Amino acid sequence: MEAPSVAETLKAVGATVFERGWLSANNTLIQGEGPTALVDSGYGSHASQTLALVTGELAETPLDVLLNTHLHSDHCGGNAALQHRYPQLMTLIPPGQADSVANWDPVALTYTPTGQKCPPFRHQGLLLPGQELRLGSRSWQIHGAKGHDPHSIILFQPDHRVLISADALWQNGFGVVFPELEGQAAFEEVGETLDLIESLKPQTVIPGHGSVFQDVGPAITRARSRLAQFTRSPEKHHRHAVKVLIKFRLLEWRTIARNDLLTWARNTPYLSNTMPPDSDQQQMEWLDRLLTELQSSNALRLDGDLVINT
């Protein structure tokens, strides 16, 4: 018997996926007989787009629950706007950073180290691995998914074998392993999370970025190959991470002068920790090498003193 298509599967679990690109993570709206829920809310500067997508789909139906797979800015930046629009909204976050949210600590929440922003929001409960919760008409399992973020969770709907994988698994890899940038070994945890995903045997994956996909086996193989490369050469992962952070900010800025970009890098710990400390010239040469590599991969364009997103 032929497996259900992506469209058929999403309909069966009551899910509408808003594919957002890379500045904002994908959002998954789940409707049915039970609570209407949204998984992840995008980046702060895209909050109006998130609201438009959600209200356009729901019309006068209220949004009951907002869940964050993890608290990186591209996954929870729209929380505050959604809480303002839906005053009775219950927001659930993974355990581990509840105190940092309650007392709003942008350093502990990694917004300052990454040079990113996130409007403060509230939370009313936790997403505890090992538990299940009803979203729409179905029950979803909560699983811990350490690696990309030590507090991340993924959601699995066992009846239709649908996985909301956040940044633990994309069709071509996985998200930057941020604990490694802080000197904490986490590549092994990425592997453990990939093993967990394989054991769940999902048929359809809703990733944090990119299109919904069903070629899950090959995606896991590609992710393991990438992980092996980073494990052998951690410096390759670190350089990749720095370029990802530059590209991420450029998605919002669109255009910035090199000197302004260097100033931002100096004030962003995840970048400043890797740049030469000796002189302005060496730091600019460090940045120029990164920009040249990004330009060669068509991630940006250099025009005189300007760095332009592509």
Which domains does the chain carry?
A: 6-232 (3.60.15.10), 245-309 (1.10.10)
pLDDT of 191-209, one tens digit each? 999 999 999 999 999 999 9
Would you state the pLDDT for residue 109? Answer: 96
Q: Which residues contact 15 (CB under 8 A, 6 or more apart)?
A: 28, 29, 30, 136, 162, 206
pLDDT at 279 over 90: no
Q: What average pLDDT does the segment 100-117 reach? A: 95
For 114-134, what is each residue's pLDDT tens digit? 999 999 999 999 999 999 999
Which comes out higher in pLDDT, residue 34 or 274?
34
pLDDT of residue 171: 98
Residue 278 has pLDDT above 80, yes or no: no
In three-state secondary structure terms, 141 is: strand
Three-state DSSP at 277 gives: coil
pLDDT value at 90 more than 90: yes
Query: CB neighbours of 201 closer than 8 A, spacing ≥ 6?
Result: 161
pLDDT at 264: 95
Q: Is the whole model's pTM more than 0.85, yes or no?
A: yes
Nearest of 171, 156, 168 to residue 214 by alpha carbon: 171
C-beta of residue 153 within 8 angstroms of C-beta of residue 70? yes
% of residues, the chain, pLDDT over 70: 100
Rg (CA), the chain: 19
Q: Is the pLDDT of residue 213 over 90?
A: yes
Please report the pLDDT score of residue 20 as a whole number.
96
